[in-house]
Structure 1
């Protein structure tokens, strides 16, 4: 059963969304503030998030960068095109304006879950001339194989699955724990440093950049 998190401080809207999603067969979790959402996400990973922007404590814009790796549909009363563009460029996969038709929102949810499922089962991930083949568990740059440790491979996989987004250190540790237990906060920088060095030696460029105080992302031209 797919799990969807609703981050919405308006109880009425949240209840409407929860009722509609539950009837569609989804499992629903709720958060009423940005701070509460991050606390829940530290122990629970939904397949999709519906995010309001006007939240108490940390607002939607502030927590969006911390949701890397999870499809986020923004549900907001803000209707300006500039707001939509900024949020979509900032990591949201879709944006729907309040008030909305429930049938349309459910369709958008279904599309994003389908897209996420296809991405999760994709056997090949690419970024510029960097290729990861999940079927053979190999990584190559310009066609040259790069030998990675299990932890380095797990880190790179998470970054390549969200190539335009910053993945926070805590989120990265949480995600790669599914593939390897050989990484802790104290050793994460060492693993990433070794990974960057191996990729740079073959590709003659830095593929991973550190975003100071936040986490890491793939370095785009």
Structure 2
């Protein structure tokens, strides 16, 4: 079973533009969820918890700039990268978008190849393990490119599920992940697995991490889930 694909939320009210974006993002291997208005986007965001948002400036109802402001003002959503799409090329508009928290800004008409590169750049920040990055936490080093983990210089033997769990925890040390969030991220959104399965694999991960000594870096947060550190 592979890890859940990185998820991109496309917020675009023009159907033709939306189809082009979805086609190319799916061809890049991303899971794509869509919304055609700002109000709809807020609901989809809550349900899908995307890793990156591609957001059109001009939307019916809640505007793209207002949606960006709302997402960036909430502690729960401010860490999600937002790429703004707009026909507005004026420098003042671009500065306004960046000032309210947009992470990148692409002016229409844009190069699809360039936009895909920008999505990957933002994804590297949001989910570094999916783009082969090296992750480090204290004496643990995870190489997402070669699927190897070392602790204090010694290589650890992890099953594929334990590897994906550790990669998720190491992407955001200190963040508390609920069992449901870990199921979505590690097993995938469309697969039913009992939440107790998470506890079993966390137990295996802890055993592997502590096999040669060292403290247990995985913290159980009662009633909430798990965190690293």
For normalisation by structure 2, the TM-score amounts to 0.55
2:148 to 125, 133, 138: 138
1:193 to 200, 203, 208: 203
Secondary structure in 2 matching 1:148: coil
Q: 1:183 to 1:136 in 2, by over 3 A?
A: farther
Task: Name the structure 2 match of 1:94.
Answer: none
Secondary structure in 2 matching 1:156: helix
Matched, 1:110 2:139: no
1:148 to 144, 158, 180: 158
Q: 1:103 to 1:164 in 2, by over 3 A?
A: farther
Matched, 1:164 2:155: no
Secondary structure in 1 matching 2:102: helix
- Displacement of 1:196 in angstroms is 1.1
Secondary structure in 1 matching 2:149: strand
Task: Name the structure 1 match of 2:52.
Answer: 47
CA distance in 2, matches of 1:191, 1:72: 29
* Range 185-194 or range 115-124, more displaced: 115-124
Q: 1:210 to 1:176 in 2, by over 3 A?
A: same
CA distance in 2, matches of 1:215, 1:52: 26
1:71 to 80, 102, 106: 80
Q: 1:144 to 1:71 in 2, by over 3 A?
A: same
Structure 1: runs of 5+ lacking an equivalent:
7-14, 54-58, 74-100
Does the 8 Å CA contact 2:52/2:122 hold for their aligned counterparts?
no
CA distance in 2, matches of 1:33, 1:214: 28
The count of residues paired between Structure 1 and Structure 2 equals 165
Please give the per-residue CA displacement for 1:133-179, whole angstroms capped at 9, x wherever unaligned: 1232111101111111111111111111222322221111111125x
CA distance in 1, matches of 2:53, 2:222: 27
Does the 8 Å CA contact 1:142/1:203 hold for their aligned counterparts?
no
CA distance in 2, matches of 1:143, 1:131: 8
